């Protein structure tokens, strides 16, 4: 059970912020040695963003950074110096996988574009994740995950039809695009294991996120029908919404898929006003009178406890669940039974729960075993073990401002 | 499936048997697009998710569900009744020739057909079984029922979406099966890699609930680190939190405004806006813009309303401001950037149909390119072919 599938693979990780590191966290969980090239001169933005442990800011205290960088190693290197870039190149020469999510051109300015890397390390798999790819009229577009989901069509579909395109409420693509990246990387690894051949992968975060709306794109391409926002409704199900429950901002999601679900929900509804209303007897009726039905169900749910009602409906076979917030999920019995959260003892934050990956493998361990690195925590170790430097040389590089 | 004159694909030597389900569809597609031979196993008449609206052409048809067509083009299809002994044996023949078996059935429900992981691994020790379920194989909710809305809500993501004065709203496009499908596809490749060392398959137990929960950004950490619950924010005309603003022909999203403050003022001034109340270093200080958003919006809102989305965003980007247009599917089909990268590829989705621009590559691989090819299979379209080949001892 202790085998880790990617043990022995070395990753030179130039990713930063969210979308890149979420992906390399997967590689670290699977046993790869992931060395992040960082710098205290220009720290990763996530180190400087909360939430911070106990609300106290500091580059090693961010839950944003620490959760998605668990199990990685940190080399602090000044890439504006010749020596710093030379050390990075030496690490890249040894790496199996090289990753970055910089804007196009940044890696090239350091002599670390794919052609340069291939010249010294032809079997390397090289993944870049520029926002808009490396060509095209919007190649240099700047943005965050929130910008990508807007231009890629996700916001258009998320929210109420009469209200602005609010979108997911967070940087959704930052948690999707990295998995596209990992799938392409592991596919390339499959090819390399068979042939010995490395290659370059370019993931356009724009294109990857556009792919998440393939259903509406294909419909628009074929028929010219442009889908809009539909709130929580579904074209083939009703009732299908979130309904108010007892407490402050508490809600229950209910989805009635078919007549069996509807019969079970009516049974649970007892003598509520909607139960025997003939307008709702058939699916077409429930769709036509969706708003009235939702309002009536909301009156029925609003004094009930969301978790208790969900439990009751699930026993009756109706898909239902409380609309959980972050704290609810952290404490829910399913996550506990699955041991999703892993406590890791971090030198600055102490023991803190971390996400593990969302799956279990029956014959391999995939989960973080070390907390996120302090900024530069493994500089000495990387210099000695990978870069072949002596103690004196390392001390000299600190003094010269190369290791910062 | 190397074709003459074409570059190799990364997963061209991989065969996937997919017990067709809405939960498995994207995962199977990821493999098909990398060159794997993906064979759907469906009940006679076709899988349930072939009937998911909307339908291309508007008419319900097993080939024309937009979602099904997008996620299953390029796969093959055989039909089988799992409660029929001969069909089940045929499925085992297929599994004997396969590397992966992807299924999305409720935990335990395949035991009626002898298709538990234990039985499958005893008979096909090299087979990797990928189970994509709503909650995972075990735990108190393992037998609960879920749809996309339920999965997104239990996993904490719905709570982050919507407007402060409304109920929470889920992300559009039924994303929970995309989330779990992506995670499971990556996990399946890990198991495939691991098999080269061990010689054995294993069980990949994907939980949609955990996958959605992992996608909450910092909602978990906000509680764990600071004891704070993250909820939905007002984004309408919010200058600091990814605000949604109106232009003459639609909306844009504005992020990180204070970072390029001088560029914005210069631009507004050039457009004749009186910027004097907005001058001063305090506007760049953390929290100041949030506290004075009404003062800012009084000038910024009419300024943006005078421009189109694309005008505003292109000019903003030239001034290092992170503004992005809110695009619809129609805008994406017309987008010059996607045209220049040839994102859409003309594709015939079923015989006799005209080709349509099919959404394409998330990534470019230099040696083993992504390949989206092949039409949407009819239910059982490849049953005969496979039976003949396997009957002749064609298992690899």
Residues of B in contact with A249 (CB under 8 A): 231
Residues of B in contact with A240 (CB under 8 A): 147, 149
Chain A residue with minimum CA distance to B218: A64
Radius of gyration (C-alpha) of chain B in whole angstroms: 25
Are A150 and A274 found together in one domain?
no
Is the ipTM of this structure higher than 0.90?
yes
Chain A residue with minimum CA distance to B313: A141
Are A196 and A343 found together in one domain?
yes
pLDDT over threshold 90, residue B393: no
Are A247 and A164 found together in one domain?
no
User: Which stretches of B288-372 are DSSP H helices?
Assistant: 288-291, 293-305, 309-318, 329-334, 336-340
Helix (H) or strand (E) holding B100: strand B100-103
**A170/A145 Cα distance (integer angstroms):** 8
Residue the block writes with tokens 């247009």: B325
Residue ranges of domains in chain B, CATH in brackets: 15-216+340-391 (3.40.50.10540), 243-326 (3.30.1540.10)
Q: Do A67 and B368 touch (CB under 8 A)?
A: no
Chain B residue with minimum CA distance to A130: B363
Residues of B in contact with A170 (CB under 8 A): 160, 216-219
Are A149 and A271 found together in one domain?
no
Q: Do B362 and A214 touch (CB under 8 A)?
A: no
pLDDT digits 0-9 by tens, A279-308: 999 999 999 999 999 999 999 999 999 999
pLDDT digits 0-9 by tens, B353-391: 889 999 989 999 999 999 987 899 999 999 987 676 655
The partner residue sitting opposite A210, judged by closest CB among B11, B182, B332, is B332
Rounded-to-5 percentages of helix, strand, coil across chain A: 40, 15, 45
Are A107 and A196 found together in one domain?
yes
Residues of A in contact with B371 (CB under 8 A): none
A199-203 and B363-365 strand pairing? antiparallel
pLDDT digits 0-9 by tens, A5-47: 999 999 999 999 999 999 999 999 999 999 999 999 999 999 9
Q: Do A222 and B356 touch (CB under 8 A)?
A: yes
DSSP for residue B171: P
Contact A297, A270 (CB under 8 A): no
Residue % of chain B over a pLDDT of 70: 96
**A399/B4 Cα distance (integer angstroms):** 59
pLDDT digits 0-9 by tens, B33-66: 999 999 999 999 999 999 999 999 999 999 999 9
CATH code at A20?
3.40.50.10540
User: Where is the domain boundary, A268, A290, A325?
Assistant: A325
- Give ∠ CA B132-B133-B135 in degrees, rounded to 5: 130
Give the residue from A19, A66, A221, A228 with the most B CB atoms within 10 Å of its CB, the best one to mutate: A221
- Residues of A labelled as active-site residues: 174
**A15/A23 Cα distance (integer angstroms):** 9
Chain B residue with minimum CA distance to A132: B337
Contact A24, A72 (CB under 8 A): yes
Are A23 and A83 found together in one domain?
yes
How far is residue A184 from each of residues A118, B9, B218, measured CA to CA in Å? 18, 11, 26
> What are the residues whose beta carbons fall under 8 Å from the beta carbon of A390, sequence distance 6 or more?
none
Q: Do B186 and A228 touch (CB under 8 A)?
A: no
Are A348 and A307 found together in one domain?
no
Residues of B in contact with A221 (CB under 8 A): 329, 333, 344, 356-359
Distance from CA of B269 to the nearest CA of A (A): 23
SS (H, E, C) B281-308: HHHHCCCHHHHCHHHHHHHHHHHHHCCC
Helix (H) or strand (E) holding A74: strand A73-76
Q: Do B187 and A171 touch (CB under 8 A)?
A: no
Contact B342, A159 (CB under 8 A): no
pLDDT digits 0-9 by tens, A50-83: 999 999 999 999 999 999 999 999 999 999 999 9
In the sheet with A251-255, reading across from the earlier edge strand, the strands are A240-244, A251-255, A320-322
Give the residue from A219, A257, A268 with the most B CB atoms within 10 Å of its CB, the best one to mutate: A219
Token representation of residue B22 = 């809405």
Evaluate the CA torsion angle B176, A244, B52, A166 in order and state its sign.
Answer: negative
Distance from CA of A398 to the nearest CA of B (A): 32
The partner residue sitting opposite B159, judged by closest CB among A201, A215, A324, is A324
Distance from CA of A133 to the nearest CA of B (A): 9
In the sheet with B128-133, reading across from the earlier edge strand, the strands are A359-361, B203-207, B128-133, B100-103, B15-19, B37-42, B76-79
As a whole number of angstroms, the longest Cα–Cα distance in chain A is 86
Are A173 and A74 found together in one domain?
yes
Which structural domain range is residue A320 located in?
Answer: 240-325
pLDDT digits 0-9 by tens, A351-364: 999 999 999 999 99
Q: Do B244 and A166 touch (CB under 8 A)?
A: yes
Radius of gyration (C-alpha) of chain A in whole angstroms: 25
Helix (H) or strand (E) holding A296: helix A290-301
Q: Residue B62: exposed, middle, or buried by beta-carbon count in 10 A (0-12, 13-18, 19+)?
A: middle
3-class secondary-structure state, position B130: strand
Decide if A331 is inside a domain. Answer: no
pLDDT digits 0-9 by tens, A315-365: 999 999 999 999 999 999 999 999 999 999 999 999 999 999 999 999 999
Binning pLDDT at 50, 70 and 90, where does residue B146 land? very high
Give the residue from A26, A65, A214, A230 with the most B CB atoms within 10 Å of its CB, the best one to mutate: A214
Q: Do B215 and A176 touch (CB under 8 A)?
A: yes
Are A319 and A355 found together in one domain?
no
* pLDDT given at position B1: 46
**B313/B294 Cα distance (integer angstroms):** 22
Contact A229, A156 (CB under 8 A): yes
pLDDT digits 0-9 by tens, B280-313: 999 999 899 999 999 999 999 999 999 999 999 9
Q: Do A166 and B236 touch (CB under 8 A)?
A: yes
Decide if A219 is inside a domain. Answer: no
A97-100 and B100-103 strand pairing? unpaired
Residue the block writes with tokens 């001063």: B280
Give the residue from B7, B8, B10, B313 with the most A CB atoms within 10 Å of its CB, the best one to mutate: B10
For the whole prediction, is pTM greater than 0.80? yes
Decide if A27 is inside a domain. Answer: yes
> What are the residues whose beta carbons fall under 8 Å from the beta carbon of A315, sequence distance 6 or more?
none
Decide if A217 is inside a domain. Answer: no
Residues of A in contact with B192 (CB under 8 A): 190
Number of domains in chain A: 2
* pLDDT given at position B2: 47
- Give ∠ CA A20-A24-A27 in degrees, rounded to 5: 160
Decide if A40 is inside a domain. Answer: yes
Contact A203, A177 (CB under 8 A): yes
Are A288 and A171 found together in one domain?
no
A81-94 average pLDDT score:
98
A13 forms beta bridges with: A36, A99
Q: Which of A32, A76, A72, A67 has its CA nearest to residue A46?
A: A67
Contact B376, B68 (CB under 8 A): yes
Decide if A1 is inside a domain. Answer: no
Are A58 and A155 found together in one domain?
yes
Omega prior to B25 cis, within 30 of 0: no
Residues of B in contact with A9 (CB under 8 A): none
Residue the block writes with tokens 């009703």: A238
Rounded-to-5 percentages of helix, strand, coil across chain B: 40, 15, 45
Distance from CA of A44 to the nearest CA of B (A): 16
**B232/A186 Cα distance (integer angstroms):** 35
Decide if A226 is inside a domain. Answer: no
Decide if A264 is inside a domain. Answer: yes
Mean pLDDT of chain B: 94
User: Where is the domain boundary, A325, A352, A383?
Assistant: A325
CATH code at A304?
3.30.1540.10
User: Where is the domain boundary, A292, A325, A358?
Assistant: A325
Give per-residue burial for B92-121: e unless 16+ CB within 10 Å, then b. ebbbebbbbbbbbbebeebeebebbbeebb
Token representation of residue A81 = 């110096």
Residues of A in contact with B153 (CB under 8 A): 242, 251, 253, 321-324
How far is residue B268 from each of residues A43, A49, B307, measured CA to CA in Å? 32, 30, 12
* pLDDT given at position A72: 98
Q: Do B154 and A253 touch (CB under 8 A)?
A: yes
Distance from CA of B41 to the nearest CA of A (A): 22
Are A190 and A315 found together in one domain?
no
Distance from CA of A308 to the nearest CA of B (A): 14
> What are the residues whose beta carbons fall under 8 Å from the beta carbon of A307, sequence distance 6 or more?
A322
């Amino acid at each position: 059970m202790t085998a880790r599938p990617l043990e022995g693979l070395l990753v030179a990780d130039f990713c930063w912020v969210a979308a890149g590191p979420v992906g390399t966290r997967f590689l670290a969980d699977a046993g790869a040695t992931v060395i992040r090239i960082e710098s205290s001169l220009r720290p990763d933005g996530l180190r400087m963003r909360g939430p911070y442990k106990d609300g106290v800011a500091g580059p090693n205290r961010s839950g944003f950074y620490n959760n998605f960088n668990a199990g990685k190693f940190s080399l602090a290197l000044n890439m504006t110096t010749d020596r710093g870039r030379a050390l990075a190149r030496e690490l890249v020469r040894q790496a199996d996988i090289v990753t970055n999510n910089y804007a196009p051109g940044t890696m090239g300015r350091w002599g670390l574009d794919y052609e340069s890397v291939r010249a010294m390390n032809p079997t390397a798999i090289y993944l870049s994740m520029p926002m808009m790819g490396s060509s095209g009229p919007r190649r240099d577009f700047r943005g965050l995950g929130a910008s990508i989901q807007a231009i890629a069509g996700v916001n258009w579909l998320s929210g109420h039809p009469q209200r602005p395109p609010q979108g997911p409420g967070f940087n959704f693509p930052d948690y999707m695009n990295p998995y596209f990246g990992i799938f392409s990387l592991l596919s390339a690894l499959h090819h390399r294991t068979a042939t010995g051949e490395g290659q370059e992968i370019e993931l356009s975060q724009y294109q990857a996120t556009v792919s998440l709306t393939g259903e509406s794109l294909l419909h628009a391409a074929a028929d010219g029908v442009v889908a809009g926002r539909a709130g929580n409704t579904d074209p083939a199900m009703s009732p299908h919404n979130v309904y108010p429950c007892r407490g402050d901002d508490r809600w229950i999601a209910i989805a009635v898929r078919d007549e069996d679900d509807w019969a079970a929900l009516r049974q649970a509804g007892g003598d509520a006003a909607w139960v025997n209303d003939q307008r709702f007897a058939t699916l077409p009726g429930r769709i036509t009178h969706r708003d009235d039905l939702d309002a009536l169900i909301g009156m029925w749910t609003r004094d009930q406890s969301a978790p208790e009602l969900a439990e009751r409906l699930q026993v009756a076979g109706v898909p239902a669940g409380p609309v959980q917030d972050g704290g609810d999920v952290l404490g829910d019995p399913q996550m506990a039974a699955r041991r999703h959260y892993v406590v890791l003892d971090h030198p600055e934050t102490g023991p803190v729960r971390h996400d593990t990956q969302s799956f279990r493998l029956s014959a391999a361990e995939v989960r973080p075993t070390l907390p996120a690195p302090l900024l530069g925590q493994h500089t000495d170790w990387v210099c000695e073990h990978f870069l072949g430097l002596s103690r004196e040389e390392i001390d000299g590089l600190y003094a010269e401002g190369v290791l910062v | 499936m190397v074709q003459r004159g074409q570059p190799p694909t990364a997963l061209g030597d991989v065969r996937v048997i997919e017990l067709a389900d809405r939960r498995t569809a994207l995962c199977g597609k990821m493999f098909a697009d990398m060159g794997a031979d993906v064979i759907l196993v469906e009940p006679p008449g076709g899988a349930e998710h072939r009937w998911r609206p909307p339908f291309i052409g508007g008419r319900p048809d097993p080939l024309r569900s937009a979602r099904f067509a997008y996620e299953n083009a390029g796969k093959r299809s055989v039909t089988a009744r799992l409660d029929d002994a001969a069909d089940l044996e045929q499925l085992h023949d297929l599994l004997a020739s396969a590397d992966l078996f992807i299924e999305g059935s409720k935990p335990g429900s395949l035991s009626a057909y002898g298709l538990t992981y234990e039985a499958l691994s005893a008979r096909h020790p090299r087979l990797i079984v990928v189970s994509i379920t709503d909650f995972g194989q075990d735990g108190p909710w393992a037998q609960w029922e879920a749809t996309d809305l339920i999965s997104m809500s239990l996993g904490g993501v719905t709570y982050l979406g919507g407007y402060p004065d409304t109920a929470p709203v889920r992300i559009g496009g039924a994303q929970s099966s995309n989330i779990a499908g992506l995670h499971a596809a990556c996990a399946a490749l890990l198991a495939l890699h691991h098999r080269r060392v061990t010689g054995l398959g294993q069980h990949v137990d994907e939980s949609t609930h955990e996958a959605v929960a992992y996608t909450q950004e910092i909602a978990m950490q906000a509680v764990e680190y600071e004891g704070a619950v993250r909820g939905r924010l007002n984004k309408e005309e919010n200058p600091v939190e990814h605000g949604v603003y109106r232009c003459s022909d639609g909306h844009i999203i504005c992020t990180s405004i204070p970072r390029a403050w001088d560029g914005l003022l210069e631009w507004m001034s050039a457009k004749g806006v009186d910027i004097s109340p907005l001058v001063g270093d305090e506007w760049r200080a953390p929290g100041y813009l949030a506290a004075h958003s009404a003062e800012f919006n009084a000038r910024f809102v009419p300024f943006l309303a005078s421009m189109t989305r694309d005008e505003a965003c292109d000019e903003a980007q030239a001034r290092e401001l992170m503004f992005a247009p809110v695009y619809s599917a129609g805008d994406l089909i017309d987008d010059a950037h996607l045209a220049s990268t040839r994102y859409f590829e003309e594709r015939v989705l079923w015989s006799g149909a005209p080709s349509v621009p099919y959404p394409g590559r998330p990534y470019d691989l230099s040696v083993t390119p992504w390949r989206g090819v092949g039409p949407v299979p009819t239910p059982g379209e490849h049953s005969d072919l496979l039976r003949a080949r396997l009957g002749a001892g064609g298992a690899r």
